[in-house]
Every structure is written in C-alpha cells, then in structure tokens.
Amino acid sequence: MVKRYLLILLIGFGTIFCQGLAQEKTDQIKIIHADEGTSHPTYANTHILKGNVVFEHDSTTMYCDSAYFFLDSNVFHAFSNISVVKGDSMKLEGDTLYYRGTSKTADMLGNIVYNDRKVQLVTNTLFYDFNTKIGRYDTPAVITNRADKNVLKSKKGEYHSENKTVYFKDSVRLHNKDYDMYSDTLVYNTATKTAFFYGPTEIISKDDKILCNAGVYNTETEVTSLWNSATIIGKEQTIIGDSIHYNREQGIGEIFGHVVMKDTANDVILYGDNGYHNELQDSTSIFGCAQMTQLNEKDTLFISAEYLTIKTDSLNENKQIRAYREVRIFQPDFQGVCDSLIYNDNDSLMRFFKTPILWSDESQITGDYIEAQTAKQSIKSLTVNKNAYIISEIDTTMYDQIQGKDLFAYFKEGKIAKVDVKGNGKTLYHILNEDSLYLEANSAECADIVVHFDKGAIHTIKFLESPNAVYQAIAEMSRKQRFLDGFKWKIQIRPNQEEFLQPAETSP
C-alpha cells in the first residue's frame, strides 16, 4: 500500500507555495540595494536596477543580478541568479522572476531550485496566484524529501491553499527505499491526510505489487481503497477484484466484484462476487457464486457454494474449509452436492451435511450425513449415516442398489472396492450370465451385508445373517420390484468439470 512516507513529502511541497513567495499583502515592495539604478527611458516611474539587486516584501528577501521595478503597478521583473529567501527556513532560486504586487501573482522561470528544511524542488516553471491561492508548475519536476530521501517526479503539479490539496499530474513517480509508485495523477489533501490516485497506477515494493486505475489512501489511518480493476500481487498470494478496501490497523481486507484470490503456497484459487480477509484471524471468506480450486499435479479439486470460508489455526496450522448453501464438488474420482460442507486438512476428512449426494464412477451414494476420508485429493473411504443408499447404473433401465441404516464404503484407485452395510440391509443386483446378458436379478434383505466390487460393479455379496432373498427373471419384474424404497437417481445434477472453469480458463 502507499506508505506513510507520502505525508512528509507532500506537506513539504505545500510549503513551497505557502511561504516560498511573498505573502498576501499589498504593502509596497522595497528596494534594499542595487549597485546601479537608472530610470527607464520609456516607462514612467520605472527603475532599471543592476548589480546585487535586493528587494524586500513582507519578511521575504529577493536577490537578482538585474531587474525592472515598476513603482506605479508595484511590479518587478528580475533576471539572472534569482534567489528568494525567507529567514533561514527556505530558499528559492531561478533564472527569471515576475512578481506583481497589485495582481498578486508571481512567475518564476528557468532552472528553478527550491530548498527548505524538509524538501527540495527542481523544475523550470513555478507560478503562484495569491488571489486563488493556487500554485503550480507545468514542466517536469523532481521533489526530494530530505529526511527519507523520497523522490517524487511529475510533469505537472498544483497546490490549492484554500482546500490544502496538492495535485501531481502526468507521469507521476514516487520513490523511496521501500516502494516505487507510478501513476497518471496523484492528489493529496494535507488537512485530511488523504492521497488519491487516478489513471493506471502501479505500486511496487519488495513484498508486493499493486495495480489499479484509481484509489485512495489515508496516511494517518492507513486505510486504502483501490478501484477499477484492482490487483495486489504478493510473494505467495494474488488478490484481484473490481475494488479492494484494506484497513492495515485492523488487518481486514474487503474485495468487491469479480474476486480472484490465488494462494500460490497452497495451490488454491478462490473466485466469487465478494471477498473478505482477516489477517489477524488468518481467515478468508468468499460470498456469492463462490468457488475454490485446489490445484494438484495429478487431479484438481473444485468446490462451489454461495459462501466459502477458509481459516487456518495458528497453533497447529490446520486449515479448515467451510462451504454453505448449494454446495457442489468435483474431483475426477468423485463428485457431490449438499447443503453444507466442512473439510479439515489435518485429518483429510470431508463432511457433507443435509441431503448429500456423492457420485463415484457409475455409483451414486446418498444418506442423511456423509464423511469422506481423502488422501492426495483422492477418496479413500466413506461413512454414510442414516438412510444410506448406493445406486450403480447398469443402463437407463437397470440399477444395482444397496440400502441400509449405515454403510461404510472403501475405495481403491478411486473406485468402490468394498461396502459394509450395518443395519436394515437390502440389496438388489442384476446377474450377468455367461453370454454377458442380464436376465435375472436378486433382491435380498439382511441386517448386515458385505459387498465386494470389481471395476465399480457389484461382484459378490456376503450376508452376515440368513438373508431373505428372491431370484427373479428381470422380464417378469414389475416396475416397483425393480427399485428399492426411496430410489432417486439424480444423475442430472451431477457436477462436471466444465461448470467450474472460469472465463480465462475456457478462452482459446
């Protein structure tokens, strides 16, 4: 962010115009000294002064090699080796000075160097209007802060005494030991201690790089707002949004519109309508069309929801991810939907709440509550509590089904390898004959059942107690007999990878 150093430099620039030239009084300019003085041959009441000329006006002393002094209009034109001194606090030098006491304006031209205890200004033009209390330069200038060696460059500059505002325009560059700032226009109000920057702006430090097209920074409260496509690029994090608001003291950042937050250290990208980051709590939240992308060399995990939050526990560095409302998840090995989700990376356990549905290969898994044990973004096992149900599609008319109070599913290489059903077990599976035809189906009931799978399809079923089983010809089965109670095949809402891809990822 724009640093506090800006305050001293800009206040110093204001003094150039406030005290650098004579004050707003109408007292007659006094001639203190001149080696030689003659009357102008054409203009009445006009002196031509040469050699060590000295003027004085309102405690400000002005030196030059020669000058025209127009007594009636209280104006002098000074030439060569101009030096304007106010006590020992400031000195202004240049080639030519036009000072008009009546109109209350002053122009200095050529090789201008201004020095006071705080800053130095170097430029070729300097103008001040005591009526409007506006000072300006319109040639490239360099302003250096003595204490911090901060340097500000711009092609134009303006100071408005009435509203205590400094304007730097055209190719503005602010440099100090910690950062460089480039902008089209920089505006600073010395009363509110607030800096505004307009046009393409770039702020570069050793820790981060900031890009925006407009912004405001309060040097006292250290509150910053960036607008019109703002970007903050850090060593391990990049934040993008239509606008970014940051309170350094509170450690809170808010991002609005088309939010992208990239965590390169953990290979995580967050997208959404709005974002919120709390540095003190090490938590990040995304609101509205929120999405998390967890990059991996082999597979990528996608999670979308209305609201996403990521929080890191500073004691054990455990990262917890929470997703709420219309949660959708995609990973090549499994996909899912639910109302809310919690994931902890210390135990790699993913919890699905409120009518969750998961898919793996041709199988759909449902229950009141599901826990997924993962490793390297691949599913290892599932625990399904209450109303557990697995449906495996053979074709659009036949589905193998497993149902029970609770079930435990185990995976191998991303495919279901084994299922343990605990309580109220029911199965309905179709039997493949030696001609690779499905002609019969077996429906059975048993409290506890163990089912083994081969390549994602039911291979063998073991009933741990005496089952109540029925073999039937599929052709003779009624529609009701083809489905266990509560059958709901939800393939139409199964997430796919394309829905998670962002515009930048889908463009050619």
CB count in 10 Å sphere of residue 120? 17
The amino acid that residue 310 corresponds to is: I
Task: Quote the pTM value.
Answer: 0.79
Which of 69, 63, 29, 62 has its CA nearest to residue 46?
Answer: 69
Which of 187, 273, 267, 202 has its CA nearest to residue 232?
Answer: 202
Q: How far apart are CA 265 and CA 268, in angstroms?
A: 8
Q: Where are the domains of the chain?
A: 378-500
Summarize pLDDT for 211-237 with one digit per residue, the tens: 999 999 887 787 889 999 999 888 888
Q: How far apart are CA 374 and CA 349, in angstroms?
A: 6
Q: How many helices, marked H, and strands, marked E, lie in the chain? A: 2, 36
pLDDT at 189: 84
Q: How far apart are CA 267 and CA 276, in angstroms?
A: 19
Max Cα separation, the chain?
132
DSSP state of 355: S
- HEC profile for 6-37? HHHHHHHHHHHHHHCCCCCCCCCCEEEECCEE
Summarize pLDDT for 81-107 with one digit per residue, the tens: 999 887 777 788 999 999 887 777 889
Q: How far apart are CA 48 and CA 476, in angstroms?
A: 125
Structure tokens at 101: 């006491």
Buried b / exposed e along 201-211 (16+ C-beta atoms within 10 A): bebebeebbbb
pLDDT at 171: 92
Q: Does domain 378-500 have CATH number 2.60.450?
A: yes
Are the CB atoms for 254 and 244 separated by under 8 Å? Answer: yes
Buried b / exposed e along 145-164 (16+ C-beta atoms within 10 A): beeeebbbbbebbbbbbeeb
Q: How far apart are CA 372 and CA 382, in angstroms?
A: 5
For 186-218, the DSSP string reads EEEETTTTEEEEEEEEEEEESSEEEEEEEEEEE
User: Phi and psi of 84, rounded to 5°?
Assistant: -110, 125
Are the CB atoms for 150 and 9 separated by under 8 Å? Answer: yes
Are the CB atoms for 3 and 179 separated by under 8 Å? Answer: yes
Q: How far apart are CA 149 and CA 121, in angstroms?
A: 13
Residue 102: HSE in the Cβ half-sphere, 13 Å Cα cutoff: 8
pLDDT at 218: 84
For 345-398, the DSSP string reads TTTTEEEEESS-EEEETTEEEE-SEEEEEEETTEEEEEEEEEEEEEEEEEETTE
Spans in the chain with pLDDT lower than 70: 1-27, 297, 314, 316, 376-377, 503-508
Distance of CA 329 to the CA centre of its chain: 25
By 3-state DSSP, what share of the chain in percent is helix, strand and coil, each rounded to 5? Answer: 5, 65, 30
CB count in 10 Å sphere of residue 80? 13
- HEC profile for 139-191? CCEEEEECCCCCEEEECEEEEECCCCEEEEEEEEEEECCCEEEEEEEEEEECC
pLDDT at 377: 67
Are the CB atoms for 246 and 238 separated by under 8 Å? Answer: no
Which of 373, 442, 441, 444 has its CA nearest to residue 404?
Answer: 444
pLDDT at 359: 93
Torsional class of 505: left (φ above 0), alpha (ψ -120 to 50), beta (otherwise): alpha
